[in-house]
Every structure is written in C-alpha cells, then in structure tokens.
A = this chain, B = another copy of it.
Amino acid sequence: MTDAAPTTPPPFDCLALIGVGLIGSSLARIARRAGLAKRIVATARSAETRAKVAEMGIVDAVAPDAAACVAGADLVMVCTPVGAYAAIAAEIAPHLAPGAILSDVGSVKQAVIRDIGPLVPDGVHFIPGHPVAGTEHSGPEAGFAELFDGRWCILTPPPGTDAGAVERLAAFWRGCGSLVEEMDAGHHDRVLAITSHLPHLIAYTIVGTATDLEDSLEAEVVKFAAGGFRDFTRIAASDPIMWRDVFLNNREAVLEVLGRFSEDLSALQRAIRWGEGDKLEETFRRTRAIRRSVIEAKQA
C-alpha cells in the first residue's frame, strides 16, 4: 500500500461502528470531521454506553443492537474486544448489505479471520484491519479525532479479496490520518507480539509484582514511581478485557517471543549475579540504536 499524505476520499454512505470505546469513538470523531461518511451509526452492548454516545452527539444515530446497526451500511467496523467477534459475526451476517466492506480494529488478525471469515456472506468484502494507535484510556469519552494521525494502520485482507475494496478501505484510513500497510495476518500477529503484546504483558507483570508487596512498600513504590516504574503503570492501565482477549487469541506468537525474552532476561540476570559489567554495558549500548531508529521513523 502507499503511505501518502491524508486526502479526502469519496465518502461512504453509512459507516456502522459496533463498539464505541477509545478506537470506535475516535473513528466517529475523525470520520465526521474529515467527511469520510455521510452518516455514522453506532451501537454498544451496554445500554449505558449507548445512552452516553447518544448524549455525546458524536454519531448520527445509535442503534439498539449490532443487527440494526449494520443494516444499510456500506462500511462496518467492529471495534469491540476480539473475544466478542464470533458472536457479533453470527448476529450481523444476515443483515450485511451486498457490496459492503466489513472490517475491524482488533490487535490480532489470524483469530479474527478464524472467527468472522466463515460467516461472511457472499458479496461482502471482509478486510481485517488494525490501527497501531492507542492510549491507556478506555471508553467513548477517551476517543479523539487525532488518534490515528501519523500512525500505521495494517490491513490483512485474506487471499482473493477484491483489490478495489481494499483500496477503498485504505483510502478511508488515510483520510483518518493513518499510513496504511498491507500484510499477511500471520506476519502481523508475529510483529505485533513483539511491538505491542509482549510490552503490555511485561508492564502488567511488573506492576502486578509491585501490588503483591507489603502495603508500606507499595506506598513507596507509588511515591517514587518517577524512576521508570510510572511508564509501566501507564501501559498497565490499558483495558483489561481487550488485553485478555489479545493474549487468548495470539497465544502461539506471544509464547514464542516470551520464550526469547525470558532467555535474554536470564542472561542479564546471570551477568548481574557474576558481576559481568562488560556484558551489561554491551547490551545497554545496543538498545540505544533502536531508539534512534524509532525517533527517525517518527513513531516515538
């Protein structure tokens, strides 16, 4: 795919958002601001969230359920935790309009193809996607129109997907400010296991380790968090359900990279135990180069 600057593609007639958390509500905001859809309809599982979204006025209509939400939509975006996808697919399949694009924003992609793929009716274009963007905040109030600006969105169309539909979805994401890349779903899951899933698992672990300390020590951990710990607490404040589903649905890739990580950690542990300063220093120098690359890639 290309990585051109944001442009305004011809709008979709109706964008249906199933789930209105951080990502869904950010999509609603940018889609309206950039004129990417003539009409935006959304739904959420809880009546409370639906009422809140209606009150916030960030969409044109709130549908009572996913089936009603997708009726007549030519772009359907599933924006819930991935563990809910199979049930949603079963619910919406009979109501999807012919020629519609069905996509999602989940952080894993093979499991999405596994859970939704078999249920997609003929004539509907199924193109899984993943905007690599987010914050530690959740819920409809957490969204903002600039969330995707300069960030990558990865599309993983299954083999044989209509190229025109893929390009239309790519243009939508570029209209949101994203850079778009096309990738095999399995490769996506392996890359993201390293850049996103492992970092979250580690952050959750280290903050969890701190919560198991005696109370007096835990209070001091909070007080002196500025030494590095605070960055981990931010990552470990991410949505628990979303992340539970990520780990359950990208098991193999996460376990594989976790194995490498554990080996590397053991090697550093051993270097500390035996006072091998050269080995520590060598590792700590190597990692600086990656930081420079991340800054140069404008993803810092």
Contact = CB atoms under 8 A, between A and B. Distances in A.
A230 interface: yes
Contacts of A283: 204-205, 208
A224 B154 contact: yes
Contacts of A285: 240
Interface stretch (A19-27, A114-122, A289-297): A289-297
Chain A at the B interface: SS class: helix
Nearest to A258: B269
B196 A227 contact: yes
A241 interface: yes
Interface in A171-228: 181, 190-192, 194-213, 217-218, 220-228
A224 B151 CA distance: 8
A235 B228 contact: yes
Contact of A265 (B205, B236, B286): B205
A151 B281 CA distance: 28
B227 A132 contact: yes
B300 A264 contact: no
Given A211-B287, A277-B244, A299 B225 contact: yes
13 contacts: A83-B277, A151-B226, A194-B209, A194-B213, A195-B228, A199-B231, A209-B264, A212-B260, A225-B294, A225-B299, A240-B281, A240-B284, A244-B281
A196 to B, nearest CB: 3
Contacts of A269: 255, 258
A293 B237 CA distance: 11
Which 7 residue pairs across A and B have the least CB separation, nearest first? A196-B227, A240-B284, A199-B228, A237-B291, A236-B287, A207-B287, A195-B229
B207 A248 contact: no
A299 B248 CA distance: 33
Given A209-B257, A299-B222, A136 B194 contact: no
Contacts of A262: 262, 265
Given A211-B287, A284-B244, A290-B211, A191 B229 contact: no
